[in-house]
Structure 1
């Protein structure tokens, strides 16, 4: 009898097993092919359902007789599919985005129940914000994919594009018929260790392994420094998140009620945690705020998951969508670390005849270690590559990936490898790099910069030139660069040649020898504009103002002693040969002269506490600071005993900072002060840069004429504020235009001491006035105030400036209008 019941029990269990159905699959975005996490999957007619995981996967088991399954998620069209009678079924869903519209919610008496949840989450931010940890380390895996999408018909009909598509037709398509075709151009994978220290706040990433493939990518070392996790960090416990150099307000910011509305949608189980599911809506459609869903732990009020999007209505240019999905996990201290993050940035077509761009970033954290803070010297380089970062086997990548590459991603790799070998693609990619960087790589040398190839002005007439430099293929210790030019009107050769020896790449240390002969302009010296080749070329076009021939030799040295602290020093011998009427009173002979020689010893210190520096092949490149200012101190000593015609000292102090003002926008200020000791001709004085053109520039005083003022002691503050959409977004008829208000305030104190008054260009040897020349009153500042509107038709900006002082100076302009074109987000 016992055996009978045992057999009966096993038989019934077998029937149950055979009657149970398992349905699994993956839910993805039909336009991008990316997983959709947290989507709702429901067997219709039952209560059986679940949410997809971070990779978009689901698996349901049921013994009920059901005939269809439904997938839904906010911002996407709901999709239903029929089920078969098979015991194991795989059904993948590709959801298409729907137009997201903000709904109006009406609450009855009492406060919105979501407000109390948000209030408690904000009150407990300090308990979960990882920035409050003394120090921690994480091991991260990051992958980046960049695709061309939304390819227009006219774009595909171009002969160059047809050559590419003809070759790619044989490659596996990235999506099935429910998706849309994309053209991948870049793919990277990076394994790195990230280090954080709280006091002082310092960050560092060591890239252990990196694999980069992309159209136009020649050397992976530079690209690998910016493909790690440090550039893909999104912390919603900050009040403001910086994305694409714009400031977006967090849904749990301290001032949340100013920016957001919320709706309590449901109470759901996420893993083992019971969570509130809240819908988030911007109060103002044009604000830089998120829309989407957040999950908050019921017990702790910690963020569990976020799925947020910047709506199309936000005051942004060219950006069709920014989407951030994140999964957070508590560590032993209770603080939260994002375990997985996925970011999509979709750049729209600039015109109907062009293509769009889609960038996808994925970061997974494998392990988190709480540790004692590392010494500050450890953080000298914000990003560091291990010597063998580019050497890794396929087995290493298979073990390092938190999730294996999908079939779509494998197809992306194949397509990118094929694309970069196509001649027409290489031609266009190298052409774009040539235009952007100024140099065209040809083997071990780079030709350029292209700005030196040709120009025209009233002194040189037609100017032709040619230049080149060595690259990392030639040497990683030597950089040789030079150019030559010839003016067909003045019949003079000009040149600049220098050799740089890189002594230490970790603590950036170089020594450089340089020789030159070039046309310069007083107040627009080539040396001060060396970092802006386009502006330098533009300043040499047309009519040159107070031009002179500068000939000389230079020795430069620089070393970074610790993170952000750079020392520079050197010697410079140069000759000033004016090409305009110029005289000065020689201090020694007390006679008037027109040309002179200088011998200078120079020393400088530069400190940027949180400035991010990368090494671009054989150059040190700054990606700018985050919060702290950049400070520079420079000292120059003019040496008569080493061949100079005069002895003098110059001291200068400079501070630049970008200020995040939250709701009010972003400000930038530059403070510049200096003093020159000794009797010197006015080209050695501080010639304050004016702007006599129609075009706006941040480098000049825009109501000041060229060479209007010079000083031997000065102090200036230049302040610019960008309201973003703060003011104009609140005006009903203006908000649709997406115009943005800007403001300027420039103040200058300066003076010329008695010993240098006679050395200004307004006096010739006979005492006759050659031209008007103003001198600043030390008790009366030069002040100009400006206001304007940017983002007009997405590209144009108009500024209105009022000159508030020195209106009695000849040719003074009390009011000017400046225009400019810019590409901004």
Structure 2
């Protein structure tokens, strides 16, 4: 993501390379738009269809003298072209009276009965598993992928803007989109050649990268991986197609009849195969649907070609257009295999056609299919070095031989253009501003200062707090990294700091050693699962505003050392040794505990804690995607994969003055669920227990939330330390309907709001021996009658904010219990 915002700072594009271009609108003789009409260059197979508003755009590298417009029930019209580019055409089609008795014209909602298009759709469902690589036990093929970012809708006013002074040469590479008709400037291209192996019996697939080349800046793995995840693999035969964390209903879905209108428009030979052409469009607005058409073979009922364009009214942020093309070829006269996949997204802050934006494009070509050659399971499980120098530095003749689609003149020019651009001082300044906004760090000679967004904080112990940190950063693939911060509280007049170091010893197994030390003020117990991150800090410790007094804070001195290893992809084993001292940070909060010997109170009370601990844990995140191969990696698909964590901790009494011996078992499981067209559910389960008598600082307070922010995995209506336990089990559920309900309410439909509901529950208990140790000013109370709360929220307010209304379910008689509260959260979501 570091370079994603940088691209948006360059807003550019204008000039023409295609030979023939036409655009305009098609209407009938009453002035009503003709949706999904055919637009074809005369004597060619190059064409498109008009959209739901009758608008069209078509271009070709060839020169044509005429364009033909046709639609069932209307007279075909031929329009001569007197210029290479003809825009804003207004084409009027006349109805044919002799055809009205023979042809049924579908307008508005089409019938679900006696509709031949639906009969064909049912045939597709029956045969959809009989096509593609899923038909074979094993498969392999060559794959070429081209990812591209373009700046679009560039006009003369922008080109003359003084911000581009000294960079005018970039506009020499502009082109015009054949999909939207907008001028664009390619500014980033990544090419990759791979060999893909799959086994349907083992349910395994492996992609071996053979070559990678990109224009732009060095170390672009994060941007590349981000785009790849954005355009994750999909199968048009599936009921739902996932893009931008949203589930779009496929036009080939079994639920498509309830979501789309279908019209059988034409039939013709497509590459010597007789096919039917079906046009589809949404039945309702504001849903995640497409419009377009597809060609389906009349014997295998396999898709030959399909076009999908996201509905303009779809509840989708920052994306003005989504357009998909897929083409399939025939193997052995019966099996259809994908040969080309084209995906275009038009990102923009506004949905107006004249607004400036960024195209993100992916073109994937497939060739040399081979089937039923088995490979051992070890082949699929074997870890490979994530970085091979030769793969990323292939010579030009490699690309000439393996590139399945030639680069256009403008795409070739991007490689040279960006090399020149990086030498321009003004561009370097824009780059640095964008990098700081995107990453939160400001780079100074291989050292990053930041994060800039955590400079200010406030709590009862420190008052106003200022924090400034930094890290070494030579590239995102650094083998080692040093990081630290310094902070000062104006109320307690104390300096705090944190230091950490990591070193990747082996890139293949990701064997890493780490260590660090932190002296700080912290809200312990802000999460159930313990963390030994020496630089970590919860929002509960530094929120500028809070509900009630935020004074239950501790002064912590934490040191850690350990190592972790990743023997299998996304499976990490970690061993950590830690030593901490804790004492209260305010006069109004106490962590005092009684000194016990053989279960008998000695009469002494301690107000500080010393504790050494060893923790063994593992993390498993199947489906997680990362970029980079250094000591730190960037997670690309955050929140889109399940996460498992389990740990065993052992407290060492007497070691380095450790006060207690105990055993602690903890586990956490988080799973996101895409529930078809009904939105997205996020669920988390946590369980844990502590064996042995320990004081408050080593117990498990149920994590409350006294901030005004909606913090997932906390209990919004609980105060800090309101419940304390040594054994617990908690459940968190949060479901986002994505606007499915609001889209059916006329007054709310245009606001693109999204509905969110939540439910949270926890059970906990506390042993008598732990109660006997307590000498703090916290009264131990465990939620032995399951505590629960629920919430309803309105999301996507101004496209960046969600407001939650939270309700406490029980324990309303607790002192100071908050039965209702309002919280909010900012976030950028598609």
User: TM-score per shorter chain, which class?
Assistant: 0.7 to 0.9
Contact 2:502 2:631 in 1 (8 A): no
CA-to-aligned-CA distance 1:685-744 (integer Å, 9 cap, x gap)? 112221223332223211212332121100010001111132222233332222221111
Shift, 1:587, TM fit: 3.1
Which of 591, 597, 606 is the equivalent residue of 2:610? 597
Shift, 1:797, TM fit: 2.0
Shift, 1:775, TM fit: 1.3
Shift, 1:189, TM fit: 1.5
Which of 110, 118, 122 is the equivalent residue of 1:115? 118
Shift, 1:112, TM fit: 0.4
Aligned to 1:196: 198
CA-to-aligned-CA distance 1:460-490 (integer Å, 9 cap, x gap)? 3454444332335598432222233344543
Does residue 1:585 correspond to 2:594, yes or no? yes
Aligned to 1:504: 506
Aligned to 1:656: 670
Separation in structure 1 between the aligned mates of residue 693 and residue 522 of structure 2, nearest angstrom? 22
> Against the structure 1 CA distance between its residues 424 and 379, is the aligned structure 2 distance closer, same or farther, given a 3 Å change threshold?
farther
CA-to-aligned-CA distance 1:52-101 (integer Å, 9 cap, x gap)? 699976889xxxxxx95215599xx9994448xxxxxxx966777999xx
Aligned to 2:494: 492
> Against the structure 1 CA distance between its residues 39 and 262, is the aligned structure 2 distance closer, same or farther, given a 3 Å change threshold?
closer
Separation in structure 1 between the aligned mates of residue 734 and residue 744 of structure 2, nearest angstrom? 21
Contact 1:451 1:534 in 2 (8 A): no
Which deviates more from structure 2 when the two are superposed, residues 553-562 or residues 113-122? 553-562
C-alpha RMSD over aligned residues: 3.9
Separation in structure 2 between the aligned mates of residue 621 and residue 201 of structure 1, nearest angstrom? 27
Shift, 1:808, TM fit: 0.8
Shift, 1:638, TM fit: 0.5
Unpaired runs of 5+ residues, structure 1, are 1-24, 32-37, 61-66, 84-90, 765-769
Q: Within 5 A, what are the aligned runs for 1:376-415? A: 378-379=380-381, 384-415=386-417
Contact 2:282 2:291 in 1 (8 A): yes
Instruction: Specify the SS of the correspondent of 1:738.
Output: coil
Separation in structure 1 between the aligned mates of residue 78 and residue 687 of structure 2, nearest angstrom? 65
Aligned to 2:309: 309
Aligned to 1:479: 481
Contact 1:266 1:276 in 2 (8 A): yes
Does residue 1:432 correspond to 2:438, yes or no? no
Separation in structure 2 between the aligned mates of residue 58 and residue 739 of structure 1, nearest angstrom? 42
Which deviates more from structure 2 when the two are superposed, residues 409-418 or residues 660-669? 409-418
Shift, 1:146, TM fit: 1.2
Q: Within 5 A, what are the aligned runs for 1:444-455? A: 444-451=446-453, 453-455=455-457
Separation in structure 1 between the aligned mates of residue 109 and residue 581 of structure 2, nearest angstrom? 77
> Against the structure 1 CA distance between its residues 474 and 613, is the aligned structure 2 distance closer, same or farther, given a 3 Å change threshold?
closer
Separation in structure 2 between the aligned mates of residue 142 and residue 454 of structure 1, nearest angstrom? 44
Shift, 1:815, TM fit: 2.1
Which of 621, 631, 655 is the equivalent residue of 1:618? 631
Aligned to 1:811: 816
> Against the structure 1 CA distance between its residues 596 and 602, is the aligned structure 2 distance closer, same or farther, given a 3 Å change threshold?
same
Which deviates more from structure 2 when the two are superposed, residues 347-356 or residues 812-821? 347-356
Contact 1:185 1:419 in 2 (8 A): no
Does residue 1:824 correspond to 2:829, yes or no? yes
Does residue 1:150 correspond to 2:156, yes or no? no
Contact 1:462 1:488 in 2 (8 A): yes
> Against the structure 1 CA distance between its residues 156 and 380, is the aligned structure 2 distance closer, same or farther, given a 3 Å change threshold?
farther
Which deviates more from structure 2 when the two are superposed, residues 493-502 or residues 369-378? 369-378
How many aligned residue pairs are there?
A: 762
Aligned to 2:31: none
Please give the TM-score of this superposition, normalised by the length of structure 1: 0.83
Unpaired runs of 5+ residues, structure 2, are 1-17, 25-36, 50-57, 92-104
Separation in structure 1 between the aligned mates of residue 615 and residue 330 of structure 2, nearest angstrom? 52
Shift, 1:310, TM fit: 0.2
Query: Quick one: higher RCO (CA 8 Å, sep 6+), 1 or 2?
Result: 2
Shift, 1:674, TM fit: 0.6
Instruction: Specify the SS of the correspondent of 2:392.
Output: coil
CA-to-aligned-CA distance 1:279-332 (integer Å, 9 cap, x gap)? 011122221111001111111000111111001111112211100011122456
Which of 630, 637, 659 is the equivalent residue of 2:650? 637
Aligned to 1:787: 792
Contact 2:143 2:366 in 1 (8 A): yes
Separation in structure 1 between the aligned mates of residue 456 and residue 132 of structure 2, nearest angstrom? 55
Shift, 1:432, TM fit: 2.6
Which deviates more from structure 2 when the two are superposed, residues 566-575 or residues 529-538? 529-538
Which of 21, 40, 45 is the equivalent residue of 1:50? 45
Please give the TM-score of this superposition, normalised by the length of structure 2: 0.83
Separation in structure 2 between the aligned mates of residue 563 and residue 98 of structure 1, nearest angstrom? 57
Q: Within 5 A, what are the aligned runs for 1:309-708? A: 309-331=309-331, 336-350=336-350, 355-370=356-371, 371-375=373-377, 378-379=380-381, 384-451=386-453, 453-472=455-474, 476-524=478-526, 527=531, 535=539, 538-539=542-543, 544-580=550-586, 581-582=589-590, 583-588=592-597, 590=602, 591-615=604-628, 617-624=630-637, 629-643=642-656, 644-708=658-722
